Amino acid sequence: MATDKALLYDTNTETDWDCSIVLELSEDDVFFDKKKKLLQNKGFSTKERVYFKSSLDPKWMNTTVKALLQIARIILLDEVELYFAEDNGCSPVEYYSHKNEIVALNSIISSIDNSITSSLSKKNRSCDLEEDLLKWGESNGVQTRLQIAYVQGAGRGAIAKEDLKVGDMALEIPVSIIISDKLVHESDMYHVLGKIDGISSETMLLLWSMKEKHNCNSKFKIYFDSLPEQFNTGLSFGVEAIMNLDGTLLLEEVTQAREHLHAQYDELFPTLCNDHPDVFPPELYTWEHFLWACELWYSNSMKIMFSDGKLRTCLIPIAGFLNHSLCPHIMQYGKVDTAKNSLQFHLSRPCKTGEECFLSYGNLSSSHLITFYGFYPQGDNPYDVIPLDLDAPEADSTEDTSMSDTDRIAHMVRGTWHSKNHDIFYYGLPSALLNHLRRSRSPVLQTKTLLQENLTDELELLEDLHVIFDDMMENFADTDHVNRENTSWDVKLAVDFTILQRSIVSSILTSFHSGIKMVKYEFDRCMAEELRG
């Protein structure tokens, strides 16, 4: 096997890693079987991918480089070296020859150099596309005080070019370059889609964008060229990622969303392609292209109120580079300014030069953000809640049967670290939930007093809840075995979310333990006082 092709390299721009290389034993190697056996004896496969990051721990890097050398040495063995390999295969240095050592080292260095160069060239190419998009936008009336840059851990983001104050306009997009259902009505496919009963304008836009992406004469060609080939949302999760979601809310959300999309696709295709191949070319309307368009619209669209009073789902070129934050700079942006006929993005809090300017996508849970946007938000998300399916308490026949406000709401829990009240009768849990459960056990008037009867009911309530959440904790997938630093993007997201769900339930169980101790202490104190008379 030629030494310059012994080590394959590849880049991985969809993760937080700077680059990666693949070490692969070619099946065309005449000594494939012998080398495969040697590799397996050392705990390696015939194809290994290794990821690198500039911020890696030195000890991890040292161990990884040693493993790379072990693999490279075996892959690059010649006939003589391989023949005598069994004699020194147990040697701690695993040294075969001077030539083998030099070739192995040079091959690794060359592969890493090529991988870094390839990764940088891809990023530079993407930066060129973004610069082209900004120039195109400015030529069409876009006003911006932001620039596009790569942000660690988030991909592309919008960076302030100057200090921006509250009320400053960071970005202004003219209506003329906003992608809305108006474009579908002007296209050749509307005479077909307009006759389909029940089809939504969002679905029409989906189908329009699938075709427009490949239109060389499109007004929006530069915009479509700047979009990624893969969005990597929860809708694209693989089998391993799905398995790591067992017991979580995200599993249900991803599963339902994918089933809905498959059903939607099957309703439209292949019928549209068969009946109107000139308008819907089959090669442009595959499931893969449909999923790409769905992820585009889920992750990049915005609801915009136009001057005519209609709320439309739109794609906003350039504005799509603004990332979401739990503490955003821009909060209100969904209404067209009638005087300027443009969409304006004003700041609700200051943003300094060089700081990333964030947008609010809405009050969304991490499960929703992962499913439809493909990222896990940083910080404590107050909208990460676990809904509870609880029966309403039976009404006393002598009382008003109308439901109270706490009975009408959907009950839920979240991490008890969000609560400031962990005292007895509260435990860091929502009062609406606890009051509902107390009425379920005893419809008569409940008071938060340290009476034996109240404390007995309280103790039973906490112990029942403890059993429910203890079972919930046991149903989560075991993610402890997953190496999160060396895994695919989807598995990493799945593990991150599972850890979040477990931490929420763990905080609730901790609160129950603490609450039970408090209630028992007060109960014992009441008993002692009663005995003393």
Residue-level pLDDT at 42: 84
The 10s digit of each residue's pLDDT in 225-272 is: 999 999 999 999 999 999 999 999 999 999 999 999 999 999 999 999
Residue-level pLDDT at 284: 96
Residues 6+ apart with CB under 8 A from 518: 423, 424
The 10s digit of each residue's pLDDT in 170-216 is: 999 999 999 999 999 999 999 999 999 999 999 999 999 999 999 99
Query: Do 4-120 and 125-373 share a fold?
Result: no
* Contact by Cβ (8 Å): 230, 13: no
Average pLDDT, the chain: 85
The 10s digit of each residue's pLDDT in 78-99 is: 888 888 776 554 454 567 887 8
Residue 12 in this model has a pLDDT that exceeds 60: no
* Contact by Cβ (8 Å): 343, 142: no
Residue-level pLDDT at 15: 43
Q: Nearest CA to 454 among 470, 432, 435, 433?
A: 435
Residue-level pLDDT at 5: 36
State how far the Cα of 187 lies from the Cα of 217, in Å rounded to an integer.
13
Reduced to 3 states (helix: H, G, I; strand: E, B; else coil), residue 395 is: coil
State how far the Cα of 288 lies from the Cα of 269, in Å rounded to an integer.
13
* Number of Cβ within a 10 Å radius of residue 260: 11
Residue-level pLDDT at 86: 62
Under the banding of pLDDT at 50, 70 and 90, the label for residue 529 is confident
* Contact by Cβ (8 Å): 404, 424: no
Partners of 64 in beta bridges: none
CA atoms within 13 A on the CB side of 311: 4
Reduced to 3 states (helix: H, G, I; strand: E, B; else coil), residue 190 is: helix
Beta pairing class for 323-324 and 336-337: unpaired
Residue-level pLDDT at 521: 92
The 10s digit of each residue's pLDDT in 279-323 is: 999 999 999 999 999 999 999 999 999 999 999 999 999 999 999
Residue-level pLDDT at 406: 45
State how far the Cα of 116 lies from the Cα of 224, in Å rounded to an integer.
26
Q: Where are the beta strands (DSSP E) in 347-399?
A: 358-359, 385-387
> What tokens does 163 get?
């200090």
The one-letter amino acid code at 328 reads P
> What tokens does 348 get?
């609700």
Residue-level pLDDT at 58: 65
Burial class (CB in 10 A: 0-12, 13-18, 19+), 137: buried
Alpha-carbon distances of 25 from 8, 35, 77, 79, 122, rounded to whole Å: 9, 8, 11, 15, 26
State how far the Cα of 301 lies from the Cα of 178, in Å rounded to an integer.
10
Residue 485 in this model has a pLDDT that exceeds 60: yes
> What tokens does 103 get?
């070739």
Under the banding of pLDDT at 50, 70 and 90, the label for residue 483 is confident
Residue-level pLDDT at 110: 76
Looking at 127-136, 258-267, 270-279, which range is the least confident one? 127-136
The 10s digit of each residue's pLDDT in 403-456 is: 454 445 689 999 999 999 999 999 999 998 998 888 888 776 567 788 888 889
Q: Is the dihedral of CA 74, 78, 81, 83 positive or negative?
A: positive
Q: Which CATH number fits domain 125-373: 1.20.1250.20, 3.50.30.10, 3.90.1410.10, 3.40.830.10?
A: 3.90.1410.10
DSSP 273-295: HHH-TTTS-GGGS-HHHHHHHHH
Domain covering 4-120, topology: set domain protein methyltransferase, domain 2 (3.90.1420)
Domain ranges within the chain, ordered by starting residue = 4-120, 125-373, 385-394+405-532
Residue-level pLDDT at 4: 36
Looking at 259-263, 347-351, 401-405, 455-459, which range is the least confident one? 401-405
Looking at 2-16, 32-46, 123-137, 346-360, which range is the least confident one? 2-16
